[in-house]
A and B are shown apart, each in its own frame.
Chain A
Amino acid sequence: MKVQKQLYRKNFSLIITFLVLISVSLIVGLMLAYNLTVKNVENEFASKKIDVLDQTIGPYNNFFQNKIPQISFYQGFLDSGSVSKYADTLLSDFPFIERIVFYDTGISNHPIMDGIRVNNFSMGPKAVYQFALGIPKDSIVLFKNSNPNTLSLNAGDEFNKMAVKFAGFIESADTSSALSGEDVFNISYSINSKRITYMNIPRTEDLRIFKDLMFNDQALSPVYEQDLITFYLDPNKLKIRNPHPELYKNIEIKPLVYESLENTPEEISTETPLPGAFADYKLYLSSPRGFLTREINTRFLPVAISLLSIYVVLIVIAYLIFRNLNINSKMFKLQYDFINNLTHEFKTPVSVIKIAGNNIRSASQLTDKERSHYGKILDEEADKLNDMMNKLLSFTQIENRAIVLKEEQIDLEVFCQNLVDAYQIRHPNFNIHYKIDGVTKFKSDPVLLGSIFQNLIDNAFKYSSSEAKELEIAIRKLRKNIVFRFTDKGIGIPGHELVNIFKKFYRIQSQYNQQGSVGLGLAFCKELVNFMNGTITVKSKEGKGSEFRIELPYES
């Protein structure tokens, strides 16, 4: 018989291609992931400096946007006492403020000694105070207009700049409309390197009055109060906050022109200028190459692990598919053997029937002896065929649980005796004994139980040498079960085959089963026993014999 190749095939090249392909994918994936990680880290190194800047400059922005405009809330009414309180909180909250100078300013049309005068418009400090942490009390007052002409150029520098700017604005101001945001910024702020000067925002009415003072001769006016405050800042006191310690090892505040002298390729750096009054300075951020490599590796590791685990899962799945295929191919082989055997089994009786038929037809006359001989042959061979077909049928029925148990009380003594008698008539040299202990009756389906007995007895006969055809059947009750033990002195079963003998279509290759065996017997028995909620086990020694043990639930 020729096995059709396309029915079942194992293609090892396919498997290998698959393995190679996923391995290549893995390697490519790992390489890509690594490159991406490198790029990602490098990009972040360049871009996350904004976060560092934001966090570092945060207090400055708070100071600039919230604390400085508060001066305007006082509407020029600040005096040395209230400024001192204001300054103290600022100096302790914002360490980058080095010194605060407060110009208590008066605007009038009086002639003044200190300050500036444009036409009749005079703007001069009434007093100048400075505040800083830990300065001696006697150096707080820098100037009082009770001592005119004592305002030093240095102390008056910021004031003069603002006053000139303000006078210029007044000169050309359109006092009929409200101040725009831009005007407010121009008048009130002066931002220089490390210095911010702020003057409280004058109201539109004030501007009108100031313009009047400048261009019209009037009697001595009252003195209008303005507050002017200069903050001296130290960029080096800015507290550097590094939200990305994994990217930046060193962060420093450096002058804008600074460049690292140790321009080694081992160190990579980036920089970002500081805003506002710190515009002459920059944040200089650097990390050694190795520092970044470590970060790259830390980020790459989880990616690599997940890629590898996907790879492992794929391999496992591939193995499982391969194993299933393998089992299926074994099954296929078994079925093929079965068909082979079955054909063989059927072939013998069929050819005997055919020969007998031929003989009957070719003989011109049949003697009585001949007729009965042929009749017997035909009858026996037909019985054999029938028996085989029944076995097949009932096996499939049991497998599909398509039969119903027809239980009745079985007298074990009678049951065994009948079987033994039947065998001894057929095989006079077959020596069967039975022994029943402690039980007489058993409720079960006699047909199924008979099938089990027949199969096991058949096997014992079949797999025994002609001089040792012996079988001992022992039946006894064990607790709630009934145990049937079939012990023969046959050829035995090799240890490695013990696991297979209950499988369908499985046959041990030996001289004893050259004909008339389909490998269904024990599988059939096992199905029956399982069907009857029992168990079947086997113990065997090669060359010495086997013992089959069946345990069925005893119901009485």
Chain B
Amino acid sequence: MNFFNIRLCFLAIVFCVSCSAEKETRSIPVEDFFKNPEKTAFSISPDGEYISYLQPYHDRLNIFVQTTDGKNVVRLTSDTSQNIAYYFWANNKEILYLRNAGNDSDLGLFAVKKDGTDNRKLIEYQNSKIGLITPKAYNNNILVSLNMRDSTVFDAYRMNITTGKLSLLVRNPGNITEFYADSSGELRLALTSDGVDETLIYRETEKDDFRPVVKNNFKTSINFLGFSKDSCIYILTNKNRDKKALVELNCNTGKEHQELYSNPQVDVSEGSYSRSKNKMVFAGYESWKKERHYLDNDTRDMYERLEELLPDTEIKITDQDSSESKFIIRTFTDRNPGTYYLYNIEDNQLKKLGDINSSIKQNEMAPMKPVSYKSRDGLTINGYLTLPLNMPEKNLPVVVLPHGGPSFRNSWGYNSEVQFLANRGYAVFQMNFRGSTGYGKSFWIAGFKEWGGKIQNDITDGVKWLISKEIADPKRIAIYGASFGGFSALHGLCFNSELYACGASYSGLTNLFTYLKGIPPYYKPYQQMYFEMVGDPEKDADYFRDTSPIFHTDKIKVPVLIAQGTKDPRVNVNETNQFVKELKKRKMPVTYILKENERHFFKKPENRIEFYQQLEKFLDGNLNKN
């Protein structure tokens, strides 16, 4: 009896302990953050009757098809050697797919019927790359670009999807980089490039010759969105303006017909084109998060209805049938990787298709807050701060996470890396330093030749701002990044060593000379562009040497973690080895994760998991000392 009581007490204590522990943040296993989704790449058939998706079969992604009610699941492919890289509905009956290009053998374009029969190879060409101009068939034809004739040049072909017969459509004189077809499958637009300057060329019909429409420098951009009427096209461009705008361009005159939308703060980042309406239905822009400016009332109504059905979450349409009545919708927030739904506009009904990552519980994720600060020269830098749950917003250990690129931006939304770090108790600080995209041309160009200069100052200023706000514990700040972010991390450790307790670089650039050497010299204009963006390795040799971390290993005074794939085409593994060797010679603690056969980013799941486990251990050992 007595013994029984004691056991009851013990159970009560255990229960209490576990109760209180639940108020703490649960440490979610690394695997849960970085696992691949079960079902991905949802697509809907043009008639809206079938849903297709990729799902692992014997550890390889294969195509599955089901009816919209979720029944009659059929596996179309049985590939046990490679993943299916991409697929699309060519028509209501057939799906075309590409196998993963990671392995060199047995590439090509394949077709299969939606019941899994008649699986056949359409294009078998071992050493060529296949570009898809129209991910949709018109009259049983699709348009592809292939480099059969010359490995450096892609010609456009029209291919019969039943027979696989190719007919040359445009012989590329060597400078065409993109082909665009109109909504009837006619190839009428192309982009030529000499590597730096681009020219849009247009023809009224396939029988005419291409004429140049508009020319622009690499500093401005033209993104084709869709054909309008009267020889007009919809484009996103920042030609003659700082922020990208949604513009209708007259291809006959080369003049802007009208500006549909522009935002004074940020670039317009996307435009949604409706094939059925033959017009733009909204312009998307990204302030602190992605937003829409509607250009069509029906679309506005639909999104408003969707927002009622799915409150407190962001919505994105990923696919739709040809009548635009059934949609595949993806939701997401900063704390939720999201879910795929099927939406039927007629009965306003949603049907859940699958979670991106069902292991992630929204209430265990940390909110991502937009922040902004002033750089030392007065520029406003926007960023995001993700604070760990259940911790006071004071004196926190911080992981500074500069993004790669640098022509890239951090966006608001679910980020498994950020959430992983926040779950381990670190505040995660991301910033869109100058040179980031999305904030206009001049902000982007401000980062030119400043890779080791003002860009790094912007990062440093951000960290100092975070310290002045007393959010960061100045003794517990780490800097971690991948690619250019890794360069920034190593640069920070070399030149702002007093700021950081440790740093980690994942495929980080260590040497700007090497980065530029990667640009083939036969592409002179291209090389010139990089010389303008990064610097001229001969004329700016001093600047390169002064800012490349590999020349300054002696300045690193804190522990470093370096991850590197041996087949990284952008970072020379010999140099990373040399870098690590010199640190080790100076008895600096270095964690070096070198993975055979990995390229710029680790592909193998076990390598990625190992990297994050090592990163966790590394940060834990160097930031949680007190």
Contact = CB atoms under 8 A, between A and B. Distances in A.
Interface of A: 66, 69-70, 72-79, 81-82, 85, 178, 184, 201, 203, 205, 221-224
B516 A77 contact: yes
B578 interface: yes
A212 to B, nearest CB: 11
A75 B517 CA distance: 6
B587 to A, nearest CB: 15
A224 B574 CA distance: 20
Given A73-B548, A77-B516, A77-B541, A222 B524 contact: yes
Given A75-B516, A203-B517, A203-B572, A70 B541 contact: no
Given A73-B511, A178-B566, A203-B517, A79 B538 contact: yes
B551 interface: yes
Most buried by A among B518, B521, B524, B567: B521
B575 A73 contact: yes
30 contacts: A70-B551, A72-B574, A73-B511, A73-B514, A73-B550, A73-B551, A73-B575, A74-B537, A74-B541, A74-B545, A75-B513, A75-B537, A76-B517, A77-B513, A77-B516, A77-B537, A77-B538, A81-B541, A82-B538, A82-B542, A85-B542, A178-B567, A184-B574, A201-B574, A203-B517, A203-B518, A205-B520, A221-B522, A222-B522, A224-B521
A85 B537 CA distance: 15
A393 B572 CA distance: 106
B521 A79 contact: no
A108 B182 CA distance: 44
Given A75-B513, A82-B542, A222 B521 contact: yes
Interface string B145-163: 0000000000000000000
Nearest to B510: A73
Given A79-B541, A82-B545, A203-B517, 7 more contacts: A66-B582, A73-B513, A74-B545, A75-B517, A77-B517, A78-B541, A222-B522
A184 B551 CA distance: 20
Contacts of B522: 221-222
Contacts of B514: 73, 75
A205 B514 CA distance: 13
Contacts of B516: 75, 77
A373 B363 CA distance: 129
A203 B568 CA distance: 12
Shortest 6 CB-CB distances between A and B: which pairs? A77-B537, A75-B517, A82-B541, A75-B513, A222-B521, A79-B538
Nearest to A201: B574
A221 B574 CA distance: 27
A69 B513 CA distance: 14
A187 to B, nearest CB: 12
B29 to A, nearest CB: 35
Interface string B496-528: 000000000000000101101110111010000
Contacts of B544: 77
Nearest to A223: B521
A224 B521 CA distance: 7
A320 B562 CA distance: 72
Secondary structure of the A side of the interface? loop
Contacts of A205: 520
Interface string B540-576: 0110110010110000000000000011000010110
Most buried by B among A70, A74, A76, A178: A74
B508 to A, nearest CB: 15
A69 B521 contact: no
Contacts of B524: 222
Nearest to B582: A66
Contacts of B521: 222-224
Contacts of B513: 73-75, 77
Most buried by B among A66, A69, A72, A78: A72
B525 to A, nearest CB: 12
B526 to A, nearest CB: 12
A494 B501 CA distance: 92
A203 B572 CA distance: 8
A223 B566 CA distance: 28
A81 B516 CA distance: 19
A104 B463 CA distance: 43
Nearest to A70: B551
Contacts of A72: 574-575
A139 B580 CA distance: 39
Interface string B54-96: 0000000000000000000000000000000000000000000
B274 to A, nearest CB: 44
A223 B521 CA distance: 8
A103 B518 CA distance: 22
Contacts of A81: 541
A99 to B, nearest CB: 22
A242 B511 CA distance: 39
A76 B514 CA distance: 9
A184 B578 CA distance: 13
Contacts of A224: 521
Nearest to A219: B522
A206 to B, nearest CB: 8
A466 B267 CA distance: 144
Most buried by A among B541, B544, B548, B572: B541
Contacts of B537: 74-75, 77
Nearest to A209: B520
Nearest to A222: B521
A201 B574 CA distance: 9
A70 to B, nearest CB: 7
A70 B517 CA distance: 15
A78 B550 CA distance: 16
Most buried by A among B511, B538, B544: B538
A81 B537 CA distance: 12
Contact of A69 (B517, B518, B545, B578): B578
B580 to A, nearest CB: 13
Contacts of A66: 582
Contacts of A79: 538, 541
Interface string B376-389: 00000000000000
Contacts of A69: 578
Contacts of B518: 203
A203 B511 CA distance: 14
B516 to A, nearest CB: 7
Nearest to A181: B574
A222 B528 CA distance: 14
Contacts of B541: 74, 77-79, 81-82
Interface string B9-38: 000000000000000000000000000000
Contacts of A76: 517
Contacts of A184: 574
A74 B511 CA distance: 8
B77 to A, nearest CB: 30
Nearest to B551: A73
Nearest to A184: B574
Nearest to B539: A79
A148 B511 CA distance: 34
B307 to A, nearest CB: 50
A178 B568 CA distance: 11
B546 to A, nearest CB: 11
A78 B539 CA distance: 10
A203 B521 CA distance: 13
Contacts of A74: 513, 537, 541, 545
A246 B441 CA distance: 72
A76 B520 CA distance: 13
A184 to B, nearest CB: 7
Nearest to A221: B522
A203 B550 CA distance: 17
B586 to A, nearest CB: 11
Most buried by A among B511, B548, B551, B574: B574
Contacts of B574: 72, 184, 201
Nearest to B578: A69
Contacts of B548: 73
